[in-house]
Structure 1
């Protein structure tokens, strides 16, 4: 089936027309699944109800975390308090922890000072005031301990230190992205006084765990697991709901100073990629118990599941964060095209915030140079051209090798047993499509197909699987009842690196059938696709890059109107081609065909009906079947 030019990209004009006059910037568009999971995690109390957030590339984590509380109205199950350490009348090295309501720490220290300064027989009114004002059970217990004590009865030189001071309206979350033992759990520093190493109240430093106590703590999972021992320590805190302090100092310098453990009640959200999540589930038996809620943030916005209109709110957020000039009306269509190209699907738009910001900022720079007040379609197109120029050096070298004849690729004429397969090359950080010549020969034999790339150890396991599948197809069609007295060899010509993947199996099968039927293949047509044992053509990856790579070669040699590409029907939803390719297809200078079965591809390549081709193959096999097979080595020799 020949593909019309309008099917080679999304309906951008219709999409651009849906842009509203005003939009509300929102970074959480298209993330309903993840938002529901986070909402569930935060609504469940207990030690075993934390969550893991999968963060795809391009997601701005802080923006998402900042927006989540406003949309979900986070309500912590535990109140966030101020925490203090106070002098322990029974031990100079074991200070006691006290919690008071948020914002009361400073006034508590002042009243505690007044309490100890007052005579014991006149403390009762102040004691009653403190018990009414600071209602914590720990405050009551501590006041009972020091009810008859004075400053002289307390060890050390310090009365109290405020460890965590919460604002009047505590932050909805604490984010720990530079994860170390000190930044997450806190630390106790040491001091040397007259040669004596010791610690004191003011040397106790809280970490993110204590600052988030009573609220939500978000931790960068990758940073967490780069530090040995932190994960095990975090699990212990979550299981016991107590934060124990590590002894200050190291193996060479150590001092006994053990503050009272602090009760911890908070919600932890780990943030990382899917690989980290999969590894944790596989190797840590405690992970599923502690982190049962998966918030899977998507990198794509599917128009098959949601309307287009909300996506413009997401674009408004991207524009705001990029701090660029406003977009002109004609810039919307190319921006949406860029957003779909990043996803490889016509009906999906990217949610890669950083990639979109970079794209708009480059266009904004061009607009600034031209002293334009808006970003237009021309600016966006210029960005794409500049990127192609920057990243296209290796692709140009590869194409030049073909044009100069160093690599032999035909784009016209007809040849038996030779076909142009389409491959994707990844080298030096750039990815581009280019044709690869595949040849096949047939000869009398035992019915086996020899993959020269595999024999020379230049074939990956997936490519080897593809060759075995096409061998099975031929055996199923032509040798179901009798042995096939014909063997074949197949190879990627002028290939000096490992060949892998099954996207060339359709091309290999067509090339092999051409050699069997002695039917010439149109060299102007290149082909890509995987194939199963029944000849059905299956989808492959990077279809746009493959088409554009072959088009660039044909364009450099001169378009003849007979050149084109054959792709799987299943890849039609992924087409999103460059405007030059679309223009050439519209002018019928280049063609794109979609097929569902190998027979359809073979008819396009040979211009012969499938029945006629298969009849030729069966006749040839029948003739070879009656050739007397030599029985000894000297008979074969002579």
Structure 2
């Protein structure tokens, strides 16, 4: 099928969704657009109180993880959160065993002041203060502590400090995030000090970690950082299972002998967040993981237009605009934004949710607009920023293209040759990804029907490429050697390739080369080919289709467009097309052509200008007929024996 210009890019616009007053019709900024699945999972987790209902959030690359987690937990707070302040108070019976006491949220400092006042009062005045304090706090631990104090005065405590605040909810937070996971950051520490030759600890030397600071609320922990030290993960599991935090593992053996604060009850919700690899590692290697973290929240990196309206996506664009802190966007900018978002996804019905990529782009466009002393960002500023980004990354691609133009690398874009074809490949080097053509050749000789992959023989073939060659060998055998063995063998190679070749996207081009060599039918050199095949010849989708097409177009453009040049791609990749405007214009002017095929017979017929015909019929007017005619001629003139039969007969001689 020959594609038209309108099929080469998404056919939706954002401008038509905006009224004359763009700000009035624009949805509110929202980073959770397109994240319904993950939001539902975390909302469900936050409706459960038990200790075995924590969650793991798989974050998409490019997402602002903290923003997403904060927004979800503001919208769906943990329903069983218990906001208390926690203190360690000096133990009147044992200075080395401070006691853990909870009070109402935000009142820890007030309670400490009241305790100092309480201990400073005469015994006759304490009863009223005690009743007032207990009535205000309603804490059984505080009541037990006051009873333990009895008639003691402040001077009888025997400690330099009366209290230290471990957890303060004075500034209420629904979510605490531990992004840098170390022992002291997550669990806290107890420092030592030396005085007069002796080493000791005190209340003021207790430093709580995020696990205690978030007690009663929700704590999000970076899974990748956590797993850098397996010991931290094991201790976290223990605390979550027992719902109690002890300092046994925090202090060293010498310190534990003389200073050990009382264990503190833990009641919090934990969200591990990170990449899918971390989730898979924990799930496959730790039997406790699924018990403690049964809920998966999967954040998406794409926004599907088949399931959600485009207008909601504009709310996400408003969010990244705010995060970029850039000049206001003109209404005409949104078409450029959604078009590029679709290109990043390589899908005409999906849009990217890569926040960092958007923010970097908008900030560069903002700098361009400010240099031009503009008050808002126009679409030309966005386009210029994209052009600058592309120019920075195109150095290697330009060197590669220059080598072809100077004929240091032989790539023909005109004429017809037997057994030679331009395949479309993509090169990834140092963060730069670009498409370039690669000449594939095939030769045929008398043999026992095997296909020799020179790349594999030279150990330059990856596993997937080797698999692709084996699949096309199976297709040829099924087509021409179903009833009797083939008497022809072939070799196939990527010419002037000096690095490892992998992937199966060249298997269609390799098969076309082999069929051309078998039938002695010339292939059109102005058409470049990409696509994978199965054992029945069906053409399957490949990746990076836009980069591959653009790489070949740039070469043809540099040599001069002839009007017959073009590419052959899988039909399944048509929905992934999002090509540069100059390619769309060339296709509209019939200077460049994009053909889609769903079976190898369509591709080889297009390349040879011959119908494929019946593979079982010897016929000089069809491609398969020519192959069968050649095989029949060999069978008629030379009895066919397998290599092991020939070896056996020669040994008998």
Distance 1:218 1:372, change over 3 A: same
For 1:17, the equivalent position in structure 2 comes to 16
For 1:209, the equivalent position in structure 2 comes to 211
For 2:566, the equivalent position in structure 1 comes to 564
Q: Tell whether 2:162 aligns with 1:163.
A: no
Q: Secondary structure at the match of 1:93?
A: coil
> 1:117-516 maps to which residues of 2 (within 5 A)?
117-167=120-170, 170-246=172-248, 250=252, 256-516=258-518
Shift of the alpha carbon at 1:470? 0.6
For 1:627, the equivalent position in structure 2 comes to 637
Structure 2 residue runs without a partner (length 5+): 20-24, 614-621
For 2:86, the equivalent position in structure 1 comes to 83
For 1:65, the equivalent position in structure 2 comes to 69
For 1:517, the equivalent position in structure 2 comes to 519
For 2:97, the equivalent position in structure 1 comes to 94
For 2:57, the equivalent position in structure 1 comes to 53
Q: Secondary structure at the match of 1:342?
A: helix
Distance 1:635 1:628, change over 3 A: farther
Q: Which segments of structure 1 move beyond 6 Å, counting only runs of 4 or more?
A: 251-255, 632-636
Shift of the alpha carbon at 1:148? 2.9
The partner residue of 2:115 within 101, 112, 116 is 112
Q: Secondary structure at the match of 2:392?
A: helix
Q: TM-score, normalised by structure 2?
A: 0.94
CA displacement, residues 233-278 of structure 1 (integer Å, 9 cap, x when unaligned): 1111100111111467657877621000110100001110111111
CA displacement, residues 327-352 of structure 1 (integer Å, 9 cap, x when unaligned): 22332222211111111101100001
Distance 1:115 1:377, change over 3 A: closer
The count of aligned residue pairs is 633
Checking the alignment, whether the CA contact within 8 Å between 1:451 and 1:467 is kept in structure 2 is yes
Checking the alignment, whether the CA contact within 8 Å between 2:18 and 2:331 is kept in structure 1 is no
Distance 1:70 1:429 in 2: 37
For 1:594, the equivalent position in structure 2 comes to 596
Q: TM-score, normalised by structure 1?
A: 0.96
Query: Which one is further off, 57-66 or 504-513?
Result: 57-66
Q: CA RMSD in A?
A: 1.8
Shift of the alpha carbon at 1:281? 0.4
Q: Secondary structure at the match of 1:34?
A: helix
Distance 1:634 1:271 in 2: 68
Distance 2:109 2:195 in 1: 28
Q: Secondary structure at the match of 2:490?
A: strand
Distance 2:505 2:462 in 1: 12
Distance 2:70 2:435 in 1: 41
CA displacement, residues 410-455 of structure 1 (integer Å, 9 cap, x when unaligned): 0000000000000001112211100111111111110111111111
Checking the alignment, whether the CA contact within 8 Å between 2:26 and 2:314 is kept in structure 1 is no
Shift of the alpha carbon at 1:588? 0.3
Checking the alignment, whether the CA contact within 8 Å between 1:247 and 1:255 is kept in structure 2 is no
Q: Secondary structure at the match of 2:283?
A: helix
Structure 1 residue runs without a partner (length 5+): none
CA displacement, residues 454-506 of structure 1 (integer Å, 9 cap, x when unaligned): 11111111111111111111111111111111111111111111111100000
Shift of the alpha carbon at 1:554? 0.5
Q: Tell whether 2:39 aligns with 1:35.
A: yes
Shift of the alpha carbon at 1:193? 1.4
Shift of the alpha carbon at 1:361? 1.1
Checking the alignment, whether the CA contact within 8 Å between 1:27 and 1:67 is kept in structure 2 is yes
Checking the alignment, whether the CA contact within 8 Å between 1:19 and 1:312 is kept in structure 2 is no
Shift of the alpha carbon at 1:325? 1.7
